[in-house]
Amino acid sequence: MAEVPSIFRKEEVQRLLRALRDGKIEVLEPKFDGEHSISYPAAADVTGASAEELESILNELSSLGVLSSSVVDNVAICLTCGSFRLMIQARCLTCGSPNLLRGVMIEHLACGHLDLEENFKKGERLICPRCGKTLKTIGVDYRRPGVLYRCLSCGGVSPNPRKRYTCTSGHSFDEGDLVIREVKSYKLNPAKRALIEEETVEFKPALEKFSDIWRFEVPALIKGQSGVEHEFPFALWPNEEASGGKPDVVAELSTHEKEVNLTQVLAFQAKAADVEASRKIFMAMPKLDAKGRLLSSNYGMHVVEAKTARELHEKVANVLQQIASKGKRRP
Ligand SMILES: [Zn+2]
Ligand SMILES: [Zn+2]
Ligand SMILES: [Zn+2]
């Protein structure tokens, strides 16, 4: 069997891939969040993962070709800390002074004087403050070069001052040191659909084989004695029993990059006891660690370990077959 990248065993990745597979999410659209992170609200909703975790998941999934990405935007970020909350400060191009005046300028072509429009205005007329002549025809004896910056320290005038950027952590740098970060959207790569189907767990087909014995819910939300509602990947009730009764079988699926540990077994035991389930199937991908296995056996759980969804489906069907045939032997 080909080596399965461990990322597929992450619970968050499973949730995300299932949502994409089922069309619940078409495109993962980015949103600017806080100071440094680009979030993907749709993905965050289904996975519960943080923006940082999602960023690494999306990067890895797109490098595996499972997701295809397209650049939808780019933002200037601080070269030191990556923040995109930047303050822009205008400085004189010539002397670096921040003492700049911005305004609509007029240039008196006859004498070359360039100044703010308000300095030319004398009532209805425009009079040059340097040579004292009246400005007559635009384009002939004067022109309007537009909005300019005049330095009050050195008198220099320019259309674009030097820009100094400062992030919220106080890192300061010039325009030339700006780093541009690409902002991407992601969607499922249709060419990888088969792989995704294989790596995303689907219980229905396995459970349907036992529909003459049990009715099932996938996923199952069951209210326990405590009043708390618990979610299970699936649960089975005897067919003859009216709805609302205690489940015959509840299952839990835990995935981990290496080994699922006993805390997951404990949590499942508590949930299963609260809903008063008769039988418990604990599914671990890829496997359960030794302590977890011992504990699950003490709790009388059926343990299913699988590396892929397909393997899991087969093993779950086998366990249900065992439970069904034991059930038949009971008086
Ligand atoms: Zn910074
Ligand atoms: Zn003049
Ligand atoms: Zn200056």
pLDDT of residue 141: 94
Only one residue has tokens 């749709």, namely: 42
Ligand nearest to the CA of 76: 1
* CA 165, 168, 172, 177 torsion-angle sign: negative
Residue 329: the pLDDT is 47
Cα 312 to averaged position of ligand 1 atoms, centre (Å): 47
Q: H or E segment at 328?
A: helix 309-329
Q: List, in order, residues 6 or more apart from 223 with CB less than 8 Å away.
A: 229, 230, 275
Mean pLDDT, the chain, integer: 90
* Contact indicator for 285, 306 with CB cutoff of 8 Å: yes
Q: 105 alpha carbon to ligand 3 midpoint, in Å?
A: 17
Report pLDDT for 95. 94
Q: pLDDT digits over 109-128, tens only? A: 999 998 889 999 999 999 99
Ligand sitting nearest the alpha carbon of 80? 1
Alpha-carbon distance of 330 to 287, in angstroms, equals 31
How many Cα atoms within 13 Å fall on the side-chain side of residue 32? Answer: 15
Closest CA to 251 of 228, 225, 271, 274: 271
Residue 298 and residue 280: Cα distance in Å, rounded?
12
Ligand positioned closest to the Cα atom of 90:
3
**Helix or strand run (H / E) with residue 124:** none
Distance CA 173, CA 162 (A): 11
State pLDDT tens for residues 45-76.
Answer: 999 998 889 989 999 999 999 999 999 999 99
Question: Smallest Cα–Cα separation from 4: which of 256, 254, 199?
Answer: 199
What's the gap in Å between 165 CA and the centre of ligand 1? 10
**C-alpha distances in angstroms, 325 versus 210, 276, 282?**
11, 22, 19
Q: How far is the CA of 160 from the centre of ligand 2 (A)?
A: 24
- Give the residue ranges of the chain where pLDDT is below 70: 1-4, 242-244, 327-331
Q: 3-class secondary structure for 86-124?
A: EEEEEECCCCCCCCEEEEEEEEECCCCEEEEHHHHEECC
Query: Does residue 190 have a cis bond before it (omega within 30 degrees)?
Result: no
Which residues are within 5 Å of ligand 1 (an ion), measured at CB?
78, 80-81, 83, 167, 169, 171
**pTM score:** 0.59
